[in-house]
Amino acid sequence: MAERYYLDSNTVIAIIERNTPPTEAQTAFLRAAEDGEIAALSSDLTLSECLVRPIRDGNKSLIEAILAFLDGGDALPLAPLGRTIMIRSAELRAAFGMKLPDAVHVACAREAGCTVMLSADKAMRLPPGMRRISWDDLGKEPA
């Protein structure tokens, strides 16, 4: 079974707000997600977290870029934050001492069957059966 990837907010921010073009590994990952070669998703929490700074700064072009990237399309569907996710995130917080946003991201990932958390947050606690990689690790991942 192919691995499913969950993109944490910081990985989306790294793609959208960067001042340099995406790396080869990032481009290949996003293209593979668009083409349906890999399963990747994020959540409505990512959308909310990514919009805070551009809204505060009044950066309309960045707001539009985030809304376009996180449109919930086939390439990167967004998991909704419903009652089940909130219960699962509370369970994760109780079991692993996670911060609420991290617990919500992990709960969304687990409910969607993701085994890989794409995140720059090295301190994020993950339950057994899930591993974290960063954009920097992507080029080193086995094909």
User: Is the distance from CB of 110 to CB of 88 less than 8 angstroms?
Assistant: yes
102-98-30 Cα angle (round to 5): 25
Confidence band, pLDDT 50/70/90 cuts, at residue 74: confident
pLDDT surpassing 70 at residue 102: yes
pTM, rounded to two decimals: 0.91
Report the pLDDT averaged over residues 86-101: 96
| 109 CB-contact burial (10 Å; exposed 0-12 / middle 13-18 / buried 19+) | buried
Domain 4-138: top CATH class: alpha beta
The arrangement of strands across the sheet holding 78-79 comes to: 78-79, 39-43, 4-7, 116-118, 131-133
- Each domain of the chain, given as residue ranges in start order, spans 4-138
* The pLDDT of residue 141: 56
Is it the case that residue 62 has pLDDT exceeding 90?
yes
